[in-house]
Structure 1
Amino acid sequence: MQNQQESDLPAKLSQPALRALSGAGYWRLEQLVEVRETEIKKLHGIGPNALKQLRSALEARGLSFAGEITRGN
């Protein structure tokens, strides 16, 4: 199992959101491009604020959740 020091998820994510993502096997933003936002929403501990932070972090790298078009590209 990877440790959190290898994670590049937003540092300000709440602990429940981080636990939900790590419990589902997501440690890096690049992994989220393979999953739809609707699937991430289903994770217990992921709320609107966590989704906003994840979306912003992905967009900052020119990435997006699966099936979404990145704005500005």
Structure 2
Amino acid sequence: MSTNDTRMNKEDEQSDLPKLSNPALRALAGAGYHRLEQLSKTTEKEIMKLHGMGPKSLDPLRRALAEKGLTFADES
């Protein structure tokens, strides 16, 4: 197992993101998002700019955030 594989596995273990498509998960991980709390500090618009994120990925993220009493940051 390479160093990158080890790092990704450790980050995956710590992640509380919902089940998403692999491209969406790679997009979030590549941008440094591994926890819902991190997503609450950014806007949906910013997340949608990530290569690999699609509109279908937003609903599960919104629901997971809401379950923790969180939301995406305001667009303003």
Give the TM-score taking structure 2 as reference length: 0.81
Aligned length: 67
Aligned-residue offset at 1:61: 1.1
One-letter code aligned to 2:41:
E
Moved beyond 3 Å, runs of 4+: none
Same amino acid, percent of matched pairs: 61
2:28 is matched by which residue type in structure 1?
Answer: L
Q: 1:71 matched to which residue of 2?
A: none
Q: 1:3 aligns with which of 11, 24, 27?
A: 11
More helix by share: 2
CA offsets 1:3-37 (integer angstroms, 9 cap, x no match): 21110000x20100000000000000000111011
* Higher Rg: 2
Instruction: Return the TM-score normalized by structure 1.
Output: 0.84
Where in structure 1 are there 5+ consecutive unaligned residues?
Answer: 69-73
Gap runs ≥5 in structure 2: 1-6
| RMSD of aligned residue pairs (Cα, Å) | 1.3
Distance 1:31 1:3 in 2: 13
Matches within 5 A, 1:1-73: 3-10=11-18, 12-67=19-74
User: What is the CA-CA distance between 1:38 and the residue it aligns to?
Assistant: 0.3
